[in-house]
Amino acid sequence: MKIIKLIILFILLISFFSCKNKNRVEKVEINEFIVEKKFENDTIISSRSINKRDNVLEYDFNYNKKGIITKVIEYYKNGKVKTISTLDKEPYFYLDKGYYPNGKLEHEGSVSYINQKKYRIGWWIFYNNNGTVNSMIEFYNDEKGNEWIVQKKDVKAEKQNLSTDTVKLFNPQ
């Protein structure tokens, strides 16, 4: 009799796990965040990180079919976009744009994510809160958590003639 019960329990467990929805939303608590993960065909396509203390959205993530993050959006507490990082080259080179709370561009440049921390690399452009370029700084990181400024160039407002939409700041080989 015990063997029959075990067999029935085993069949029920197999049925339960095989019927798991391939398109779903899962919520998990990780440190100070509630993370909502959205899956399609058992593959993660997006996730959101909500601060448990304030119940405020802090991050949105989009993923490709390989599970690599293709876009990260970080938000200010008021819901406005703080930074957008877009995958430039797999697995961890991103183009990063930061915004002032008023919505104007604050900086743009390339980052590499190492151990879930972002490090600036190559030339970055920094803007004043009125939209004019303030400076250009070249960064280097050793992919071990160390970052250095290689050189810095201040930019005078009257000499600006840049179109940031056409400038490719970093192109890893």
79 and 63 inside one domain = no
Whether 170 shows a pLDDT value over 50: the answer reads no
37 and 88 inside one domain = no
Domain assignment present for 19: no
Whether 13 shows a pLDDT value over 60: the answer reads no
Q: Quick check: 125 and 131 in contact, CB under 8 A?
A: no
Q: Which stretch of DSSP H or E encloses residue 119? A: strand 117-127
Would the pTM of this model clear 0.85, i.e. be above it? Answer: no
Domain assignment present for 8: no
**Interval 7-25 mean pLDDT:** 62
Tokens of 112: 């590499």
The string of pLDDT tens digits covering residues 39-69 is: 999 999 999 999 999 999 999 999 999 989 9
Domain assignment present for 168: no
Q: How far apart are CA 72 and CA 63, in angstroms?
A: 9
124 and 77 inside one domain = yes
CB atoms within 10 A of CB 141: 17
- Per the structure, the complete domain to which residue 130 belongs is given by 73-157
Helix or strand or coil: residue 6?
helix
93 and 44 inside one domain = no
